[in-house]
Amino acid sequence: APLVLDADLPLNDISLPLALELERLAPFGPGNPAPLLVSRNHSVSSVRTVGRYNDHRVLNLEDDAGNVQRVFWWQGTGWPLPDGRFDLAYRVRASTYRGQRAVQVEWVAA
């Protein structure tokens, strides 16, 4: 099935206040999916694997202006990375790690 994108939002415009605002739309589930956003024309500037079994990726994506955003790709190590420049469908959420609130960008599709 084709992805249904809710908004075109450059990764550089993502902020913790935006993530908190989007979470006000919860609870998310089959009848109310989390917003799916798209950002255009990125390239991978770095990638590393994480997780107990090294099955997740943390990527730094760079846009045309040189802005860099960290993106998590859960269970992404079994999939090839896109070549060159690509558009990214992603979800945003506010996460808490060691008591600190932060924005988490999650890879959905490229």
Question: Which among 38, 79, 78 is positioned nearest to 61, based on CA atoms?
Answer: 38
CA distances from 89 to 5, 10, 51 (A): 8, 11, 22
Reported as a single tens digit per residue, the pLDDT across 49-91 is 999 999 999 999 999 999 999 999 999 999 999 999 999 999 9
Q: Coil, strand, or helix at residue 103?
A: strand
What integer pLDDT is reported at residue 1 of this predicted model? 76
Taking the domains of the chain in order of start, what are their residue ranges? 7-109
Is pLDDT of 22 > 80? yes
The predicted structure's pLDDT at residue 2: 87
pLDDT in tens, 28-41: 999 999 999 999 99
Domain topology for 7-109: OB fold (Dihydrolipoamide Acetyltransferase, E2P) (2.40.50)
Please report, for residues 64, 75, 108, 110, the alpha-carbon distance to residue 105 in angstroms, rounded to integers and kept in the order given. Answer: 19, 14, 10, 14
Say how far apart CA 38 and CA 57 lie, in whole Å.
19
